[in-house]
Amino acid sequence: MSQPPEYSVRLENLCKAYEMGDQKVHALAGVSAGFEKGSFWAIMGSSGSGKSTMLNILGCLDRPTTGAYFLDGRDVSALDDDALSDIRLKYIGFIFQSFNLIPQLTVAENIELPLYYQGVDSATSAAAARRFAGIVGLEKRLNHKPSELSGGQQQRVAIARAMATDPVLLLADEPTGNLDSKTSLEIMDLLGEMNRSGKTIIMVTHEPDIAAHAQRRMIMKDGRIDRVE
């Protein structure tokens, strides 16, 4: 008998409503889904489809109005702000369209930053920075500032930083949105390598050619899952 799938992420009837004056807008309207460990998903949909709200909840940047969100088997949907911050730090890696690097810090220091907040000692975090910079091909740029790097190199730093804490889940928000087509392919190849190493990746994108790099695609419409491919 086959074993049931093991999920990194499971959503049960997830709803998110916002008050807009005297109206209630449902950004998510009853989403239930499971994302298996080691899978690579692309979430797509037009503006207002709910994909950004979904990503914010997956990243513990927002809470659902109702429903449950299980991350690595733990229901995190009703945790307080401090607990959510701890979850983000320990279990989730973020890759943003705008890179979100600290301009005053070097490549090494940017990669080490989440480890610093975890209380990891300097020698261990420095070794991790060297290791992950090597994985993304920036081992010779450790002492450079973000302004001295190309857009693609900055995104590689962001990926290394996201990987440094060995997160359960990698979330990518339009990770190639500010990059040319050649560099975009390089970044997607790198994310593919991360996925093949066992990481669960959920990516929001509006570009079909970028979504094609994922194993599965979830199409959102009007706050619901329209279809899964």
DSSP string, 148-193: GS-HHHHHHHHHHHHHTT--SEEEEESTTTTS-HHHHHHHHHHHHH
Q: What is the pLDDT of residue 4?
A: 65
Q: What is the percentage of the chain residues whose pLDDT exceeds 70?
A: 98
CATH hierarchy code of domain 38-66+76-228: 3.40.50.300
pLDDT at 196 over 60: yes
pTM of the predicted model as reported, rounded to 2 decimal places: 0.93
Q: What is the pLDDT of residues 41-51, one digit of tens each?
A: 999 999 999 99
Closest CA to 71 of 13, 5, 9, 11: 9
Q: What is the pLDDT of residues 75-111, one digit of tens each?
A: 999 899 999 999 999 999 999 999 999 999 999 999 9
pLDDT at 195 over 80: yes
Q: What is the pLDDT of residues 107-144, one digit of tens each?
A: 999 999 999 999 999 999 999 999 999 999 999 999 99
Q: What is the pLDDT of residue 140?
A: 96
- CA 57 to CA 37: how far, in whole Å? 18
CB within 8 Å of 107: residues ≥ 6 apart: 129, 133, 138, 141, 142, 143, 144, 145, 146, 149, 157
